Structure 1
Amino acid sequence: MTVHGIWSYAPEFDHPEGHDLAGYSVEATDGTIGHVDRQADHSGMRHLVVDTGVWVFGKSVLVPVGVVARIDPESQKITVECTREEIKSAPAFKTDRETLDPAYLSTVGSYYQGLPPRGPA
């Protein structure tokens, strides 16, 4: 992925601390994956919990902010540097307790860091 780390936004985003991304749609490189249900920053591991809605019925996924390629506040859309299949194949997210589990977050981070690099969106 990118040099800035899997748990940090790229410096060019200048993402304000208090800016809530809940409700923003999330686009993979090959289509919509859902919308941001909530965002979190536990122990410096910033991530989004994305509700995949009808795409993967009843499932949410945890997405580290380091894969965010673009944030468009005007259209309330976030683009990530992953395909839909890569998001779907990420370690399963079952409960909110996992957002506090360092072992689970480490597994998620390793998965996303192992994805092939992509160019700018």
Structure 2
Amino acid sequence: MTTDRIWSYAQDSGYVEGQDLEGFSVVASDGTIGRVGRQAAPHGMGHLVVDTGVWVFGRSVLVPVGVVIGIDTEGRRVTLACTGSEVKAAPRFGTDSETRDREYLSAVGAYYLRLAATA
């Protein structure tokens, strides 16, 4: 997976350009981890901010859209190609300003690329 690919939906993910995923459940390979709080693509780096609430970590996490392997519009569900533990171990998301910080986004992208390389 190239660096650019981590920030773009895979063609077979089911994503339709302009689709609003806010409120969709987010499911890792080992269970539900939260809901999409919002989606953004600053600097061409598409990502989801997932509110984990009480499900897993009690905080929000940032997930690059290249990790999405499926979108079920009827079930309002986004499926990820990683575990909840792997999402939890990603660089910690603290503030909304980080969603526009190229350095932070690069660190998150590098983390998920390493996961993809070992999968």
Question: Same fold judged by TM-score > 0.5?
Answer: yes
Q: Please, what TM-score do these two structures have when normalized by structure 1?
A: 0.90
Q: What is the root-mean-square deviation in Å for CA atoms of aligned residues?
A: 1.3
Q: Which runs of 5+ in 1 are unaligned?
A: none
1:1-121 maps to which residues of 2 (within 5 A)?
Answer: 2=1, 5-13=5-13, 15-54=15-54, 55-57=56-58, 59-115=59-115, 116-117=118-119
Q: 2:26 is aligned with what amino acid?
A: V
Between the aligned residues of both structures, percent identity stands at 57
Moved over 3 A (4+): none
Larger helix share, 1 or 2: 2
3-state SS, counterpart of residue 104 of structure 1: helix
CA deviation digits over 1:57-100, x for unaligned, max 9? 2x100000000010000000010001010000000000010011
Task: Give the Cα–Cα distance (whole angstroms) in 1 for the partners of residues 14 and 32 of structure 2.
Answer: 24
How many corresponding residue pairs? 115
Q: Which runs of 5+ in 2 are unaligned?
A: none
Residue 15 of structure 1, CA deviation: 2.6
Q: 2:57 is aligned with what amino acid?
A: V
Q: 1:91 is aligned with what amino acid?
A: P
Q: Please, what TM-score do these two structures have when normalized by structure 2?
A: 0.91
Q: Are the aligned partners of 2:14 and 2:70 in contact in 1 as well (CA < 8 Å)?
A: no
Name the CA shift for 1:82/1:14 in 2 (closer, same or farther; >3 Å).
closer
Q: 2:104 is aligned with what amino acid?
A: Y
Name the CA shift for 1:93/1:51 in 2 (closer, same or farther; >3 Å).
same
Task: Give the Cα–Cα distance (whole angstroms) in 1 for the partners of residues 108 and 83 of structure 2.
Answer: 16
Q: 1:27 is aligned with what amino acid?
A: V
